[in-house]
């Protein structure tokens, strides 16, 4: 299945850039999992890690979801931090494609 890069970018021929199966694809997928509140998607209600309004991503929950929803990679490291002043959550993940 083709996957469009988000935010959308265009390649040298003017076509939308696709990232299926690349390291960039898995980074994007893990980002969406970490930033999605569980219950948001009706077809996969357990997809997602936290309520972005009030809490930090739980590392253990993130690792469990990565293993469940993205089985084609192995996550080796996940560091999650929050900077309330900058209103930013930082997620550093190291993984390998199986």
pLDDT at 5: 76
Q: How many domains does the chain have?
A: 1
- How far from 12 is each of 9, 23, 51, CA to CA, in Å? 10, 20, 38
Q: Are 19 and 5 in contact (CB under 8 A)?
A: yes
Q: Express as a percent the part of the chain with pLDDT over 90.
A: 2
Q: Evaluate whether residue 5 is within a structural domain.
A: no
Q: Evaluate whether residue 13 is within a structural domain.
A: no
Q: Evaluate whether residue 87 is within a structural domain.
A: yes
Any idea what the CATH number is for the domain that residue 71 is in? 3.10.450.40
Instruction: Give kind and range of the element (H or E) at residue 27.
Output: helix 23-34
Structure tokens at 57: 């991503």
The model's pTM is 0.66
For 85-97, the pLDDT digits (tens) are: 767 777 788 999 8
Q: Evaluate whether residue 28 is within a structural domain.
A: yes
Q: Distance between CA atoms of 58 and 55, rounded to whole angstroms?
A: 8
Q: Evaluate whether residue 9 is within a structural domain.
A: no
pLDDT at 82: 72
Q: Express as a percent the part of the chain with pLDDT over 70.
A: 87
């Amino acid at each position: 299945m083709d996957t469009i890069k988000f935010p959308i970018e265009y390649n040298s021929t003017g076509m939308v850039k696709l990232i299926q199966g690349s390291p960039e694809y898995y980074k994007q997928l893990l980002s969406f999992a970490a930033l999605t509140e569980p219950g948001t998607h009706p077809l996969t209600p357990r997809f997602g890690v936290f309520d972005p309004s009030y809490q930090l991503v739980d590392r253990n929950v993130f690792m469990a979801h990565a293993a469940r929803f993205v089985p084609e990679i192995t996550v080796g490291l996940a560091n999650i931090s929050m900077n309330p002043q900058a209103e930013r959550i930082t997620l550093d993940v190291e993984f390998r494609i199986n």
